[in-house]
Structures are given as C-alpha cells and as structure tokens.
Amino acid sequence: MAYRDLREFIARLEKNKRLVRITAPVSQDLEITEIADRVMKGTTNQNVALLFENVREQTLPVVIGLFGTEERMAWALGVDQLDDLNTKLSEFISMDMPRGLLEKAQRGLEMLNGLRHTEPRYVTRGACQEIVMDPPNLNALPILKCWQHDGGRYITLPSVFSRDPKTGKRNVGMYRLQVFDEQTLGMHWQRHKGGAEHQRVAQDVGAASPKIPVAVALGGDPAIIWAGSAPLPPDIDEMMLAGWLRGKSVDLVKCVSQPIEVPADAEIVIEGYVDPREQKLEGPFGDHTGYYSNADYYPVMHVTAITHRRDAIYPTTIVGKPPMEDAWMGKATERLFLPLIKMFQSEVVDINMPPEGAFHNLVIVSIKKRYPGQPRKVMYGLWGMGLMMLTKTIVVVDEDVNVHNLSQVAFEVLANYDPLRDVQIVSGPTDDLDHASLEKNFGGKLGIDATRKTERDPGPHQKWPQEIEMSSDIRALVDSRWKEYGLQ
Ligand SMILES: Cc1cc2nc3c(=O)[nH]c(=O)nc-3n(C[C@H](O)[C@H](O)[C@H](O)COP(=O)(O)O)c2cc1C
Ligand SMILES: [Mn+2]
C-alpha cells in the first residue's frame, strides 16, 4: 500500500484514533519531548501519534510518534503486522521455490510486477517545492531541543540523500542533524554509514573541490522515511526498497539549488553541501543508548535552500532511554531482514534485537544445530554481516526457544551455559555511540552459546538431562476436565 505523502498516513491514523491533535501552545524546547516520552513509554492511557498544532513562536506544526507502536509501524509500511514483512521478503526472494510449473509462472509474474515499481520515477514538479524559503533559515522550522544537556536543537527524523562521487549511486540514511545556526547543520553520519563513505570517496577522488551535494527530506510516504534507517548493503538504493514496500515507485524531483533529487511529496527539504575538509564539534545529544553521546567532530552541512509545502508538517522523533519509537523502527528492520540473514546462515530460525539492547548491544538468535561449532559459526557470521558487525553481545539458543520471550531466553541461557566452555570473547568494530567500548569504534564482543550440549558438541560436558515437560495425554486430560476442578 502506498501513501502519497505523510498527510495521507496522518489521515489514516487520525481516522482510526491513532493520532491526537494538540492545540495547547507548547515549546519546541524540551516540552514536546516530555509529553512524547510519557506517551511512548506507555505511562499514559493512550499510545498515539501526536500532532502539535501550536508550537510557540513557530508557524509549522510538529508530528511525533508516527511509528510509536508495532501497529503504527506496520501500517506505515503497508502491512498489518511487522512479521508480514518477513513473509513478504521471503516470498519475494523465493527461498522456498514453488513446485508446480503454473505456480512458478505465477510467482515469476508477481515478482516482475513487484520489481517494476521499485525504480524511482523522476518528475518535474514536487509539492515539496511549493514554497522556497528566502533566505533559508533553519530557525523557521520547529526543530526540537530534545534533552536538557543537548548541544542544541536536532533534526531527528530526516532522510539524508547523497551520491557516491565516483559511481553516482544514491544513498539515503537517517542521520541526525544539529542546528549550528540559521544555515549550518552538524552532519552526524557515523563512520560505518553510507554518507560517510561518500565523504571519504570525495576526499580520495582528489577533485579541486570535494564538496558533496546533500539534501535532507522530511516527510513523504512513511515507507520512505523508514527506508533511510534500513541497513541496506552499500550501493543498494533505499528508494528502491521504499518503492518495493509501497508497491509503487517513489517520485523524485530535482532540488532547486543542488544536483540531487528528493521525494517530490516530502513536506520539507533542506538542500546544501558537505565539504569533507571541514569538521565541527557536534553534540552532546541524548541518544538512543539512554545516555548522552559525547560531543565529537563531525562534518558540517551548509544550507543552500529550504523548500516546503505551503502548509508543511514537520515530522520528528525523540530517542532516549528505551523503549522509544525507534525500537519499532528497528523491529521492522529485524523482521524484514530475517530472510536475508537466513539466506546466508541457513540454520537461523529467528532473531530478536530487544529494545533494551539499543539495536547493537544484544542479538538473540535461535538456530537448528547440526554440527560441532555451529553456534560459534553463527556468531562470526553475524559479526561479519553489514552493520551487525557492531553487535556487542550475541546469544545463541536452540531452535525451539522463543527468542522474543526474554524470560525464557534468560532461563535457557542461565541453565545451559558454562562460562568456561560456552563464552566466546572477541574484538572488533563498535558503534560510534558505544561509550563502554575500550576505545571509540573498537572493543570487545561477547558470544554466548546457550544451546543444549549433545555428544556432537566439542569440549567436555556432562550427560545432558531432559527438560521437564508433562506428557501430552495428561495435558489433554486436564484440559478436558478443567471445569470440574472449579478453577478459573
Ligand atoms: C531515529 C534514528 C536516528 C538515527 N540517527 C543516526 C545518526 O545520527 N547517525 C547515524 O550514523 N545513524 C543513525 N541512525 C541509524 C541509521 O539510520 C542506520 O544505521 C542506517 O542504516 C544508515 O543508512 P546507511 O546504511 O545507508 O548509511 C538512526 C536511526 C534512527 C531510527
Ligand atoms: Mn545505505
């Protein structure tokens, strides 16, 4: 399902009572954070998206919490529940090929149909350019100051568009931007990310001016917004993913001041360039780790134009101590990418990256164990897959363990592991935001093999006992007699 733009999604949320309009005047500095945080943490009766219509000293309204529940995240990507993404992608890559010829032909047609829509379509006019702000002024946007010790105001839900200076391939990433002044932003693309790679290429090419054009789109079909957060392999266009998810090409329009394209139906577009030779202290920022990320040097984006719709809505989010709405954005990624992980690690049954682990701190994976050393093989495999390289802890459990049930996982791990035999400590790249790692971007990683040990497992272990389980005939008997016992 394709939403034409953000407001079509907002209308759906509102119609289904998943969005509340707030007319009371509020401040963009901290007040919206406190309201949204309470709603996202579930401490209020309603977990809904919030549309603040009256932001003090601002003209544009603010929407927050678009992806704040599993349901809203699923609706945003055109499915009813996030697990449908898993099914959708496995069907698409046809891991279980159909048997019959007719079935195959039909699948082939469906796939082609699905692919046809993935290429973006270039259009000449876009609603996002109805107004060209003159002169461009970031302070005219209701950008939030999220937490009190933040270094400033931050754009938190952007789609940052850039192109590889050598190949011209597009990348879209969700990277926060700090407002330095009316026309400059801090560009927080971390070193492992697509935008940072474009910057490095620009420096390597050695052109007289290595500046790279960048555009920041805010809004558009929520599938477009989310796609920027998806950890796609380099050189795979996030706009293709968005097109595939929505079953319709993304319309892109040329920027007014930079040679780069943006979603035509976005709400707001900030155009500019990054000069790879320039860096500025960015941060601190109350981050999704639950801590302030330390101030550090990041590139600077110089704004050359701001365009927007006549009645633009400014979309944003807050991150902080989990759970926040980005937990659901991460869940969508986890569900969608599971079939890809399974393609390369066929023993993988399921994966959970719980919000408590802030994406990269904990991955729980269940596997079908068939040979000695397989849990270790899965750990190394995951540590070698794209951004999974940043994972600090990997816990491997048997196929029948429900990885989404943290209580069951804790039980299995604690019951089944011996620290001398089952713990693997390695080192490798760590997330920019990992304040605990030995040094920035490098540190230790822990793998725990919590599978039950059989005679095929290497290393010493005792005779593995049976887990307690009642026989099915007695369970059925008690089920059928339950009412007789007089228990609820
Ligand atoms: C709300 C939110 C904020 C994010 N902020 C940043 C950020 O400031 N810097 C960054 O490098 N990644 C950030 N990420 C993660 C990236 O969007 C993610 O790693 C994505 O895969 C990057 O795209 P790329 O692989 O094309 O570089 C954020 C994700 C979310 C959901
Ligand atoms: Mn990318």
Ligand 1 in reach of 118 Cβ (< 6 A): no
Residue 96 has pLDDT above 70, yes or no: no
Residue 115 has pLDDT above 80, yes or no: no
Q: What is the pLDDT of residue 127?
A: 98
Residue 166 has pLDDT above 90, yes or no: yes
| Local confidence band at 384 (pLDDT 50, 70, 90 cut-offs) | very high
Give me ligand 1 centre to Cα 229, in Å.
5
Residue 110 has pLDDT above 80, yes or no: no
Ligand 1 in reach of 306 Cβ (< 6 A): no
Average pLDDT of span 136-158: 98
Ligand 1 in reach of 75 Cβ (< 6 A): no
**What value does the mean pLDDT of the chain take?**
95
Give me ligand 1 centre to Cα 317, in Å.
13
Average pLDDT of span 405-428: 98
Ligand 1 in reach of 171 Cβ (< 6 A): yes
| Local confidence band at 1 (pLDDT 50, 70, 90 cut-offs) | confident
Q: Report all structural domains of the chain as residue ranges with CATH numbers, in order of start.
A: 87-316 (2.30.110.10), 345-449 (3.40.1670.10)
238 Cα nearest atom in ligand 1: 26
Give me ligand 2 centre to Cα 229, in Å.
8
194 Cα nearest atom in ligand 1: 27
Phi and psi angles of residue 246, each rounded to the nearest 5 degrees, phi first: -90, -10
Q: Among 259, 261, 222, which Cα is nearest to 125's? A: 261
Residue nearest atom 20 of ligand 1, based on CA coordinates: 229
Q: What is the pLDDT of residue 223?
A: 98
Give me ligand 1 centre to Cα 112, in Å.
30
pTM: 0.95
Ligand 1 in reach of 161 Cβ (< 6 A): no
Residue 30 has pLDDT above 80, yes or no: yes
CB 353 within 8 A of CB 359: yes
Share of the chain above pLDDT 90, in %: 88
Q: Which residue among 221, 251, 287, 432 is the active-site one?
A: 287
174 Cα nearest atom in ligand 1: 17
Using CA atoms, how far residue 26 sits from 51, 187, 318, in Å, is 11, 27, 16
Q: How far apart (Å, rounded) are the C-alpha atoms in residues 297 and 319?
A: 21
Q: How far apart (Å, rounded) are the C-alpha atoms in residues 25 and 186?
A: 29
Ligand 1 in reach of 190 Cβ (< 6 A): yes
Q: Which ligand is nearest to the CA of 173?
A: 1
- In 17-169 the beta strands, taken as DSSP E runs, fall at 19-22, 49-52, 62-64, 121-123, 131-133, 154-155, 159-163
Give me ligand 2 centre to Cα 289, in Å.
22
> What pLDDT digit, counting tens, does each position of 116-145 carry?
778 999 999 999 999 999 999 999 999 999
> What pLDDT digit, counting tens, does each position of 304-344 carry?
999 999 999 999 999 999 999 999 999 999 999 999 999 98
Q: Which long-range contacts (CB under 8 A, 24 or more apart) does 91-99 make?
A: 92/244, 93/339, 93/340, 93/343, 95/339, 95/342, 95/343
Residue 415 has pLDDT above 60, yes or no: yes
Pocket mutation for ligand 1, best pick of 159, 161, 171, 174 (most atoms within 8 Å of C-beta): 174
Ligand 1 in reach of 237 Cβ (< 6 A): no
Residue nearest atom 6 of ligand 1, based on CA coordinates: 175
CB 172 within 8 A of CB 228: yes
Q: Which ligand is nearest to the CA of 237?
A: 2
Ligand 1 in reach of 52 Cβ (< 6 A): no
Ligand 1 in reach of 198 Cβ (< 6 A): no
Residue 468 token pair: 């307690």
Residue 476 has pLDDT above 60, yes or no: yes
Question: Active site includes 287?
Answer: yes
Residue 161 token pair: 């568009």
Residue 188 token pair: 């927080």
Pairing relationship of beta strands 49-52 and 19-22 according to DSSP bridges? parallel
CB-CB neighbours of 54 under 10 Å: 13
Residue 14 has pLDDT above 90, yes or no: yes
Q: What is the pLDDT of residue 91?
A: 82
pLDDT: which is higher, 96 or 75? 75
| Local confidence band at 183 (pLDDT 50, 70, 90 cut-offs) | very high
Ligand 1 in reach of 188 Cβ (< 6 A): yes
Pocket mutation for ligand 1, best pick of 163, 172, 175 (most atoms within 8 Å of C-beta): 175
Q: What is the pLDDT of residue 361?
A: 96
Q: Which of 34-38, 94-98, 342-346 is the most confident on average?
A: 34-38
Ligand 1 in reach of 441 Cβ (< 6 A): no
Residue 15 token pair: 């119609």
Q: What is the pLDDT of residue 112?
A: 66
Residue 95 has pLDDT above 60, yes or no: no
Q: How far apart (Å, rounded) are the C-alpha atoms in residues 409 and 411?
A: 5
Q: What is the pLDDT of residue 98?
A: 59
Q: What is the pLDDT of residue 302?
A: 98
Q: What is the pLDDT of residue 206?
A: 75
Give me ligand 2 centre to Cα 195, in Å.
8
Residue 395 has pLDDT above 90, yes or no: yes
Average pLDDT of span 216-225: 98
Give me ligand 2 centre to Cα 238, in Å.
6
Give me ligand 2 centre to Cα 154, in Å.
21
